[in-house]
Amino acid sequence: MLGKWVGRIMEVVAISLDQANTMVWAPSISGAFSLASAYRISQEGGNSSWLYSRLWLPGLSLKVSFFMLRLVGFRLPVMDRLHKLGILGPSRCFCCLYPCQESIDHIFCTGVAAKRIWGYFEEVIGGFWDSSTLRHKLVSWWLRPTRNRYLLYLFRLLPSLICWNLWKMRNSFVFDDHLRPVAQVCAAIFGDLRDIFLLKFQGLSTLGHDWPGFYGMVAGLHGVSRTLVVRWSCPDPPVVKAELKALMFGVRLAFASGYSNLHLESDSLVLVQIIQGKARCPWRLQGDLQDLLKVSGFVRKVSHCFREANKLADRLANVGADSGQTLTYHSLSDLPSLVRGDVSLDQLGVPSLRRVRA
């Protein structure tokens, strides 16, 4: 295994033999190791589960989320789970007239109390079908389609609150021999839901005081929103390579013309950061970068400027692109007339304005 890797590393041709090897930490932009970037990798390393990710929700108590984690993983000490661990005892559900074996699906989904409580909330919303397992029940809530962000939150929050209160109802019966009425449990669930909603959406003060009224008001809220995807995309290395080549061409031209105190300006922020040592340089550009750094003693400053802000450079770039060849001007009078006009305006301090058709 080691031999294979050594062979692969030895095949890589060194860009510059006179430069010492440097260690590069690939996950960070600068190439330097940082604890923050290592932490990000460790956080994103594992596979994520859609089912388990539903259990964590802003506003929902961590105590309830951890309870749901155990519930969905069938790790609650109900009798059928204890039997599997060899702990034997009477198994008798709390909810049915003729008690049957206590299991997670029975307590939280198919038992009489569970069915009545789920039914109380589902009847108002509509569109639910019978479920034979708890996971099926939870998923049927979490996958309900809506574009109303308040309803989306409600559909994620309510199942956890129902399960939490069913668990408290069961424990009250098992340990205190007290069976709480279903209506009281439904009222407790609605109370929790309303409190969390008001805390999460503090602008909402006129929510209904009973479940049907509350749901009607939440469903009527303006939940439709526009979504704009904003993402950073990695700059294409060939573009940076072209920018670096162009910069080197300019530097050589300046030396040939007798200039030695240079101010380099580029519209590529990535290139500027690479030269300044703030960003990691791609391997394929190392050779060109080393060539540029050799003459860094003659460079006074390296800065970034948007192309639109430097009208003169912008127009010259367009002239070059249109002609398809390399054009070199040795005096002001050689420049195209429009470019000479840009130079004059620039000298007068006139701002460069660009008109954009909407």
Binding site for Zn ion (CB under 5 A): 93, 95-96, 111
Residue with Cβ nearer Zn ion (79 or 151):
79
Residue with Cβ nearer Zn ion (14 or 179):
179
Other Cβ atoms within 10 Å of 233 Cβ, number = 5
Residue with Cβ nearer Zn ion (183 or 332):
183
Considering the complex, what minimum distance in angstroms separates the CB of residue 106 from Zn ion?
A: 6
Alpha-carbon distance of 209 to 214, in angstroms, equals 6
Considering the complex, what minimum distance in angstroms separates the CB of residue 104 from Zn ion?
A: 12
The end-to-end CA distance of the chain, in Å, is 59
User: In the chain, which ranges are continuous DSSP H helix?
Assistant: 2-11, 35-44, 50-53, 62-72, 79-84, 104-105, 112-125, 134-142, 149-176, 182-200, 211-220, 237-256, 269-275, 286-294, 311-323, 337-348
Exposed/middle/buried for residue 39 (C-beta within 10 Å: 0-12, 13-18, 19+): exposed
Residue with Cβ nearer Zn ion (112 or 217):
112
Considering the complex, what minimum distance in angstroms separates the CB of residue 149 from Zn ion?
A: 36
Alpha-carbon distance of 100 to 70, in angstroms, equals 23
Considering the complex, what minimum distance in angstroms separates the CB of residue 94 from Zn ion?
A: 7
The length of the chain, given as a count of residues: 358
Q: How far is CA 178 from CA 80, 104, 221, 242, 251, in A?
A: 22, 20, 40, 78, 87
Alpha-carbon distance of 167 to 185, in angstroms, equals 11
Return the amino acid letter for 45: G
Considering the complex, what minimum distance in angstroms separates the CB of residue 96 from Zn ion?
A: 3
Considering the complex, what minimum distance in angstroms separates the CB of residue 112 from Zn ion?
A: 6
Residue with Cβ nearer Zn ion (28 or 91):
91
Alpha-carbon distance of 141 to 159, in angstroms, equals 7
Considering the complex, what minimum distance in angstroms separates the CB of residue 74 from Zn ion?
A: 18
Q: Which are the contacts of 307, defined by CB distance < 8 A and separation ≥ 6?
A: 267, 313, 314, 317
Residue with Cβ nearer Zn ion (93 or 240):
93
Residue with Cβ nearer Zn ion (96 or 327):
96
Considering the complex, what minimum distance in angstroms separates the CB of residue 87 from Zn ion?
A: 20
Considering the complex, what minimum distance in angstroms separates the CB of residue 98 from Zn ion?
A: 8
User: Smallest Cα–Cα separation from 121: which of 28, 190, 176, 198?
Assistant: 190
Residue with Cβ nearer Zn ion (7 or 77):
77
Considering the complex, what minimum distance in angstroms separates the CB of residue 111 from Zn ion?
A: 4
Residue with Cβ nearer Zn ion (111 or 159):
111
Alpha-carbon distance of 139 to 290, in angstroms, equals 57
Return the amino acid letter for 356: V
Residue with Cβ nearer Zn ion (95 or 272):
95
DSSP state letters, 242-302: HHHHHHHHHHHHHHHTT--SEEEEES-HHHHHHHTTSSPPPGGGHHHHHHHHHTGGGEEEE
